[in-house]
Amino acid sequence: MKFRSLILSLLFILCSFKGQAQSAFNVKVVGTGSPILLFPGFGCTGEVWQGITGELSKHYECHIFTFAGFGDVPPIGRPWLSTIKEAVIQYVNSHKIRSATIIGHSLGGTLGLWLAETEPTMFKKIIVVDALPCTGALMMPNFKPENIGYDNPYNQRIREMDSTTFREMAKQQVAYMMLNKEKRSKVVEWFLEADRSTYVDGYVDLLKLDLRNALIKIPVVILAATYPNKAVIEKNYNEQYANVNEKTIYYADNAAHFIMYDQPEWFLSKITESLK
């Protein structure tokens, strides 16, 4: 009887963890070949990769993620980012994915660095698209993760903001992050579709994460946008990635945060080159 109870308990734990992995994101798989995990940036869906997956899927098995709380994926609550990270590990193990490359934009790139730190043998390369090991340090001169909380007047104001005001805020943010005016409305709509608590809490998770001293043993390729000031951006990237030994940084001129939209041909060429 004790043995039977133990087995049932283990099955319950395994099923619960599998459910967590499934609910932390949705994944669309296209193509065959060596595996690639594509992580979108904060607030975006896997559709952000549409410009390259058509070509990549001819030679690679592309696992295109949309994280919980974004697009049509239901939210999961706190802790958001660490839950996604553990669910990705479970996903890779359960699908027997070996030596995958991670391509991550913004938050997705930072998540890739975090996975490389804690799972040093699981992946073979990371291609980071306009992402830093510590976003919080870039935004806060006296950065201390412990001083960043979920509940404060600013976050509460964002949670309670009506859709019209939120849309105007999103438009301003996206205009700064993208030079391609035709694509801006799509990203604004993604932000509006996002679960509002995830939009707030998930960003707090990102700001608190500091990977500047992480030990990353696999190659890291960095595609960095140069808008609005290339000299400042180069300084930031060199400082934040100083402890990553095996790295290559490419700077995309005439591109803001969404490099895939601002310089699509350059972007695809650098991705395919880096994969080879």
Q: What is the mean pLDDT of residues 91-97?
A: 98
Mean pLDDT for the chain overall: 93
Distance CA 162, CA 226 (A): 33
* Residue 181 tokens, joined: 């005016």
Comparison of pLDDT for 12 and 34, the residue scoring more: 34
Assess if residue 1 is contained within a domain: no
Confidence check: pLDDT of 115 > 60: yes
CA dist 184 and 42 (Å) reads 15
Sheet holding 34-39, edge to edge: 25-30, 60-67, 34-39, 100-105, 123-129, 220-225, 247-252
CATH label of the domain that carries residue 266:
3.40.50.1820
What six digits make up the tokens of 159?
């949670």
Q: Please determine, for residue 124, whether its predicted confidence score (pLDDT) is greater than 70.
A: yes
Domain span at 27? 15-275
- Residues sharing a CB contact under 8 Å with residue 145, sequence separation 6 or more, in sequence order: 136, 207, 208, 209, 210
Query: Taking residues 170-183, what's their average pLDDT?
Result: 98
Check whether 9 has a pLDDT greater than 50.
no
Query: 206: part of which helix (H) or strand (E)?
Result: helix 196-208
- 21 occurs within a structural domain: yes
Is there a domain that residue 156 lies in? Answer: yes
What is the number of structural domains in the chain?
Answer: 1
Q: What does the pLDDT average to over 228-250? A: 97
Percent over 90 (pLDDT), the chain: 90
* Closest listed residue to residue 71, CA positions, set 186, 203, 161, 150: 186
CB atoms within 10 A of CB 73: 20
More confident residue, 9 or 99: 99
- Reduced to 3 DSSP states, what percent helix, strand and coil does the chain have, rounded to the nearest 5? 50, 15, 30
ω into residue 79 within 30 of 0, thus cis? Answer: yes
pLDDT above 90 for 20: no
- pLDDT category, 141, cuts 50, 70, 90? confident
The whole-angstrom distance between residue 59's C-alpha and the CA centroid of its chain comes to 23
Q: Are 60 and 36 in contact (CB under 8 A)?
A: yes
The Cα 69–Cα 203 span in angstroms is: 12
Helices (H) and strands (E) in the chain, counts: 12, 7
pLDDT of 234 reads 98
Which residues neighbour 255 within 8 Å (Cβ) at sequence distance 6 or greater? 179, 225, 226, 227, 262, 263, 266
Report if residue 270 sits inside a domain. Answer: yes
Q: Tell whether 158 is covered by a domain.
A: yes
The yes-or-no verdict on residue 4 having pLDDT over 90 is: no
What values do phi and psi take at 28, rounded to 5?
Answer: -110, 130
Judge whether 161 lies within some domain: yes
Q: What is the predicted pLDDT for the residue at 22?
A: 52
Closest CA to 89 of 42, 25, 12: 25
In a domain? residue 10: no
Q: How far apart are CA 115 and CA 110, in angstroms?
A: 9
Average pLDDT over residues 39-51: 98
